[in-house]
Chains A and B, each alone.
Chain A
Amino acid sequence: MALILAFAFASVTQITSLPLLAALALAALVASGQPMAVLTRLRAPAMLALAIALALALFSGSDTLWQAGPLHLRSDGVAAGALVALRLLAIVTLTLVLLGSLPPHKLAEALRGLGLPAILSDLVMLTLRYIDEMRARLARADAARRLRGGGAGWRALPERAAVFATALIHGQHRADRVWAAMRLRHYGATRPATPPFGLHDLLWIGAALALAAALVWLDRAT
């Protein structure tokens, strides 16, 4: 559903469709029930959107709106910048609202439901399970390196490579133990059946398809 809507948002090419795009993103943000948490995660994408909008406004198009020395603000550049920036922010908002809040097992289940190989959805679930642990391990090892008088910047690259190597070796040993535990639990002998799409799921997918089609039609009609 998120992917259908994201591609529909990405296909918007008319500036007149932007208010609708913004309204849909705003509705998703409000419906998420935690708008502030999503807005916090939108900070970096918003900076990127602003940078792209500025670059396009200053370096694309021909009709100069405003000029200051070598800088020309162009009207078609502003339109192109607004289009790209709003598309970006709307899609990221949608992604964070619809997928960012799902627990790992739900995410893996959804991927299996899309027909992806089990090895891929299991890879997602195990990676999610260990990301925080590996980040904390690398951060601790790097802090210990600095406390031992380790350098910073370019001179520290070989030391940081050693820290990275240690984390990889630890990861390998940990993976061996995880695999042993998985075999003990008869991993792969029986796979939990992916529940088929229910009426509820089909209704949501249908609604997303209808909304995407309406958005594309409105965009092309204007």
Chain B
Amino acid sequence: MHLPDGLVPVGMAAAGYAGSGALLALSMNRIARLPDPQAAMPRAAMMTAVFFAASAIVVPVPPTTVHLMLSGVMGVLLGWFAVPAILVGLFLQAVLFGHGGLTTIGLNGLIIAVPALVAFMVYRTAAGRFPRLAAGVAGSGGVLMSLAIFAAFVLLGLPAQMDASAERAALMVFVLAHMPLVVAEGIIVIVLLQILSRVEPGLLPRG
């Protein structure tokens, strides 16, 4: 779910850079407060590589398939490191594969990183009492929130002469086509966090 280059007005793309830049500055500030921020970097890089590879997992939505987004689980496992990790992932996708866009990295960063941070906070707050519910909300809620931000950006950015009813209908089809992904990511994140809490609890955030 990426905004490609050339679709939105250049001012909006520049505003996306400003927004993502602010979010990145906030994250770097929080990361700098960690006891040993450099020690967390290799782990963040490794997780970014795993998420990058795992986002190739497809969920069948006949007649097509959709890719996992993993914004919620990235937030849960990486915390504040999720913002640089997501921006790095988007940059590499644009540079290596031409997916997403170079001018829209800022907007795409907001589409994925804001839900990741919200999922991180929700999970950290609620996982102690309701671990499964918190995992499900982080997984499914992350995708839902990304969809909402993506739809808002598309509505703001598409050419003004576009037929408004057709635009809304196309967006509705797009959102409905992603509903199976909302369910799938919920299932995957619940199972994933359950396994990690049993086998490697050190990977999970402490409440």
Residues of A near any B CB (own CB < 8 A) = 2-3, 6-7, 9-11, 41-42, 44-45, 48-49, 52, 55-56, 59-62, 76-77, 80, 83-88, 90-92, 94-96, 99-100, 102, 107, 117, 119-120, 122-124, 126-131, 133-135, 137-138, 153-154, 157-158, 160-162, 164-165, 167-169, 171-172, 174-176, 178-179, 182, 187-188
Contact = CB atoms under 8 A, between A and B. Distances in A.
Given A6-B102, A154-B60, A162-B191, A134 B53 contact: yes
A209 B150 CA distance: 31
B103 to A, nearest CB: 5
21 contacts: A7-B13, A7-B103, A10-B5, A45-B4, A80-B159, A88-B4, A88-B6, A126-B45, A126-B49, A127-B89, A130-B45, A130-B49, A131-B92, A137-B53, A138-B50, A157-B191, A158-B188, A160-B188, A161-B188, A162-B195, A171-B47
A153 B49 CA distance: 24
Contacts of A45: 4, 98-99
A182 B202 CA distance: 21
Interface in B26-58: 28, 31, 37-39, 41-50, 52-54, 56-57
B53 A60 contact: no
Interface of B: 4-7, 10, 13-14, 24, 28, 31, 37-39, 41-50, 52-54, 56-57, 59-60, 77, 84-85, 88-89, 91-92, 94-99, 101-103, 159, 161-163, 166-167, 170, 184, 187-189, 191-192, 195-196, 199-200, 202-203
B5 A92 contact: yes
A59 B166 contact: yes
B94 A52 contact: no
Given A7-B10, A124-B88, A126-B49, 19 more contacts: A7-B14, A44-B98, A59-B166, A59-B167, A88-B6, A88-B7, A90-B6, A91-B103, A92-B5, A127-B89, A135-B52, A138-B56, A162-B195, A168-B47, A171-B43, A176-B43, A178-B42, A182-B42, A188-B38
B192 A119 contact: no
